[in-house]
C-alpha cells in the first residue's frame, strides 16, 4: 500500500490499519495536543489528540522525512545497535 491508497481509505479503515499494522516510533507534545508518530510501509502517520480526551482529533499522513525532524531527538536507536 502506498500513501495515496492509504489516504483514499475511509478514516475508520485508516485507523484500523494504523493500529493493526503500523510501527509506533515516537511521541511529542505541541501545545495542548499529544502527537504520536507511526510508520506504515513507506510513509508516516501522525495521530493527534488531547490528553484529557483520547478521541482522535487529527490524522496526518506523509512520506517526507523532513516532517519527522521534531521527533528525531525522541527516537531511540539503542535497539538497532549490536
- The parent domain of residue 25 ranges over 3-77
Of 23 and 71, the one with more pLDDT: 23
Q: How confident is the model at residue 68 (pLDDT cuts 50, 70, 90)?
A: confident
Please write the tens of the pLDDT for every residue from 19-64. Answer: 999 999 899 999 988 999 999 999 999 999 888 887 778 899 999 9
Q: Are 71 and 36 in contact (CB under 8 A)?
A: no
Residue 37 located in a structural domain? yes
Could you tell me the CATH number of the domain that includes residue 44? 3.30.67
| Domain count along the chain | 1
Cell of 38: 507511526
Where helices occur in the chain by DSSP H, the ranges are 3-8, 11-21
Residue 17 located in a structural domain? yes
Residue 82 located in a structural domain? no
Amino acid at each position: 500500500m502506498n500513501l495515496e491508497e492509504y489516504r483514499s481509505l475511509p478514516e475508520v479503515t485508516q485507523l484500523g490499519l494504523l493500529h493493526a499494522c503500523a510501527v509506533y516510533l515516537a511521541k511529542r507534545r505541541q501545545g495542548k495536543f499529544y502527537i504520536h508518530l507511526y510508520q506504515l510501509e513507506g510513509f508516516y502517520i501522525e495521530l493527534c489528540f488531547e490528553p484529557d480526551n483520547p478521541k482522535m482529533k487529527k490524522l496526518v499522513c506523509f512520506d517526507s522525512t523532513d516532517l519527522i525532524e521534531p521527533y528525531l531527538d525522541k527516537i531511540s536507536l539503542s535497539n538497532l545497535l549490536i
